[in-house]
Structure 1
């Protein structure tokens, strides 16, 4: 019965259209685990549980976890000023700490609004640093307000590199993906790494689906560059209940509200949004939106319930669909 209801909720993704992969984990078991529609319209490749989607901002929980791992290693402290790693950032940013970056309290200028006209190539994390080095201002005094910052997470990826001595992609692979057997998950770098079972992004324009897989910012890794599948994310979700990866202290830091967001019902921890629900208790979740992809992971840890919806299309945003799927299990 639940599968039929889920199929109805996912009906827009079914058929010869850009699709989705859906996972429901309940008490450690995958009770729903399937794909809808196509991962690649041109090759007519069906979406499946092992299809890898560009996670967009769902990536941020992995970036935050990388910083927390380095904290556990003693390689950094959350209250370190970011000038420790970026001495060429202007004076307006000197009060920003690692902790501010993790919870979007930095006040950093939105790099996408100040990309120089002559910078037309696809951007990488190091390019974001160069852009921000030219911005001797912030939106507010660091730590005094909230403003979602993709640039802050690009800087966090660079901090991981400078503190660990590894590239961000290599650190993720060695410290998170390999230990958790997330064998097909990758921080994708064109010409450096490949994405197995790759979904391509699409947008519905002029009466048809057209491929819109990349944008100028798609190569920025720290804020959104990881590709993963529901199969691999099931392993990630399991690791968030115990100390196989992050210590109890680190997970509490990630999952504890630090600030209100632009929506007063939603708070932010470190790489996670936190929302109390009327049914099911507090949720830990994050969405990810980029050109051609819309994704969400919603965790109900008190119920040992997680819903993940990964899609390779511009619209719709799947957060409310994931919540509706969760209600089918919370109301049992």
Structure 2
């Protein structure tokens, strides 16, 4: 019996060493130590098996990427925006069934009356894409307040609100303006006081043109000849609700723990009533800043990616298995490394996970 226990322990040790090595191989295959790179966190069954960065956060200063490096989240930011709305609902300062006219009386009456907050949170509002309303030659950045201005006079939606799923950055920009109208505070102040500080996310913040961001990764992109160019900002990268949270692996792990324990709001419970199925995706749903699957009628595997001019981010959470996979990169259009990470985890007998999200990543 002692010999059997010994060999079982040895086998577990070998597997525990094999997985980090395989993940390290993926990271170094995709990222060079002297180029923009990425930071990967893998937690399986509550144990951190990988937590490292490869590459440079800033090509000019040669700052190395680490678990403390802050990356722009792009659309991964939407889950934070959704939590702000849920907190205000918890404080009984709004209802998810409130329509836009309650907060913006000068919104088009027909459109404003028909769009509820829950439709914004599930990408079912049909609100027009603000990006399509910007002039083609525009060079100055657009911010959330202007998104509201662009949309409030429009007298149509893409479809009847609440009837269909259509991904919408406009929806989450409007949600930040709801927060400001309800709280009479800047969105940055509210999210810092109510999310980041209580959760100990001390370095997490939002982008503003003159705001200093600690341990900041700068964004880059590849030219057709594969050379790298600086690509940190774009016309649409300044909007807060849909994309400009900056955080690190270290702080995101705290966020994941808060979501898993329901420290702020029980998101899994809320998703039972704030969700919408995704056409063409069996057992695929969206709600509250998350794509997710369900098991026995309850959200089980969560996924979101984020892409912007200089960053590529992906997150998979499986709370029931205490599993978290996060890859942040300061290189645009760069989701292939995450797909390879998931392939490694799927092949590993100790950590095999359902990779429903992989289909969304690679198609």
**TM-score, length-normalised on structure 1?**
0.92
User: Which of 21, 37, 44 is the equivalent residue of 2:55?
Assistant: 37
Q: How has the CA–CA distance of structure 1 residues 77 and 24 changed in structure 2, closer, same or farther, with 3 Å as cutoff? A: same
Report the 3-state secondary structure (helix = DSSP H, G, I; strand = E; otherwise coil) of the residue aligned with 2:82: helix
Question: How many pairs align?
Answer: 326
Report the 3-state secondary structure (helix = DSSP H, G, I; strand = E; otherwise coil) of the residue aligned with 2:36: coil
Task: After superposition, give the CA deviation of every residue in 1:296-316 in whole Å (9 maximum; x if it has no partner).
Answer: 110011111000000011132
Q: How has the CA–CA distance of structure 1 residues 262 and 128 changed in structure 2, closer, same or farther, with 3 Å as cutoff? A: farther
Report the 3-state secondary structure (helix = DSSP H, G, I; strand = E; otherwise coil) of the residue aligned with 1:80: coil
Task: After superposition, give the CA deviation of every residue in 1:222-281 in whole Å (9 maximum; x if it has no partner).
Answer: 0001000000000000111223211x3x5421476721225423310211100369xxx9
Inter-partner Cα distance in structure 1 for 2:291 and 2:105: 31
Report the 3-state secondary structure (helix = DSSP H, G, I; strand = E; otherwise coil) of the residue aligned with 1:330: coil
Report the 3-state secondary structure (helix = DSSP H, G, I; strand = E; otherwise coil) of the residue aligned with 1:77: coil
Question: In structure 1, what is the equivalent of residue 322 of structure 2?
Answer: 304
Inter-partner Cα distance in structure 1 for 2:344 and 2:315: 12
Q: Is the contact between residue 92 and residue 138 of structure 1 (CA under 8 Å) also seen in structure 2? A: no
Question: In structure 1, what is the equivalent of residue 333 of structure 2?
Answer: 315
Inter-partner Cα distance in structure 1 for 2:301 and 2:272: 10
User: Which of 203, 221, 238 is the equivalent residue of 1:184?
Assistant: 203
1:232 equivalenced with 2:251 (yes/no): yes
Q: Is the contact between residue 39 and residue 312 of structure 1 (CA under 8 Å) also seen in structure 2? A: yes
Q: How has the CA–CA distance of structure 1 residues 91 and 127 changed in structure 2, closer, same or farther, with 3 Å as cutoff? A: same
The answer for unaligned runs of 5 or more in structure 2 is: 1-17, 354-363
**TM-score, length-normalised on structure 2?**
0.85
Question: In structure 1, what is the equivalent of residue 15 of structure 2?
Answer: none
Q: How has the CA–CA distance of structure 1 residues 162 and 326 changed in structure 2, closer, same or farther, with 3 Å as cutoff? A: farther
C-alpha RMSD of the superposition: 2.0
Shift of 1:116: 3.6
Inter-partner Cα distance in structure 1 for 2:334 and 2:261: 33
1:274 equivalenced with 2:292 (yes/no): yes
Q: Is the contact between residue 22 and residue 310 of structure 1 (CA under 8 Å) also seen in structure 2? A: yes
Q: Is the contact between residue 138 and residue 235 of structure 2 (CA under 8 Å) also seen in structure 1? A: no
Inter-partner Cα distance in structure 2 for 1:25 and 1:52: 19
- Name which one, 1 or 2, has greater alpha-carbon Rg: 2
Q: How has the CA–CA distance of structure 1 residues 255 and 294 changed in structure 2, closer, same or farther, with 3 Å as cutoff? A: farther
Shift of 1:17: 1.8
1:9 equivalenced with 2:30 (yes/no): no
Question: In structure 1, what is the equivalent of residue 158 of structure 2?
Answer: 139
1:1-332 paired onto structure 2 within 5 Å: 1-10=18-27, 11-93=29-111, 94-116=113-135, 120-191=139-210, 193-205=211-223, 206-246=225-265, 248=266, 250-254=267-271, 258-265=275-282, 266-275=284-293, 282-318=300-336, 319-327=338-346, 328=348, 329-331=350-352
